[in-house]
Amino acid sequence: MCDCGSTRTPGVGPYATGRSLVEFVLRAHGGSVAVSLIPDGGLEHDCQGCGERFVMRTFVQKCPACCGVHAVSPPRAADPAAIQFAGKDFVLC
């Protein structure tokens, strides 16, 4: 079993913030978490880059308006307040 969510230490792993969380989720389980569907149809969210409202359907997703990259970790996937923004300079290849 995976231990990537075994700590509740703020700022670490699935409880990191900002770009650190986005990078963590992108790497988790070889990238498979990033493209997995968020349970219950996703989370409504206002883009932290441009303010556009959208629904995050996967654990890492770009804003459809500005391409700002956001992520939420599986242990916090029911909480829209846990969605983190990688920053305006972060680009997904």
pLDDT tens across 3-44, in order? 555 556 566 799 999 999 999 999 999 999 999 999 999 999
What local confidence, expressed as pLDDT, does residue 10 receive? 63
Please report the pLDDT score of residue 1 as a whole number.
36
Q: Please tell me the predicted confidence (pLDDT) of residue 27.
A: 95
Q: What is the DSSP code (8-state) at residue 82?
A: G
User: Which tokens hold the place of 76?
Assistant: 């916090």
Query: Domain span at residue 30?
Result: 13-85
Q: What is the pLDDT of residues 54-70, one digit of tens each?
A: 999 999 999 999 999 99
Question: Is 29 inside a domain boundary?
Answer: yes
Q: For 56, what's the count of Cα atoms within 13 Å in the CB-facing half-sphere?
A: 33
At 77, list the tokens.
Answer: 């996937």
- Per-residue confidence (pLDDT) for residue 69, from 0 to 100: 98
Q: Is residue 3 part of a domain?
A: no
> Does residue 4 form part of some domain?
no
Rg (CA), the chain: 12
Given a contact cutoff of 8 angstroms between Cβ atoms, the answer to whether 31 and 22 are in contact is no
For 2, 6, 10, 26, 71, the CA distances from 86, given in Å and listed in that order, are: 24, 23, 17, 11, 8
Whether 76 is in a domain gets the answer yes
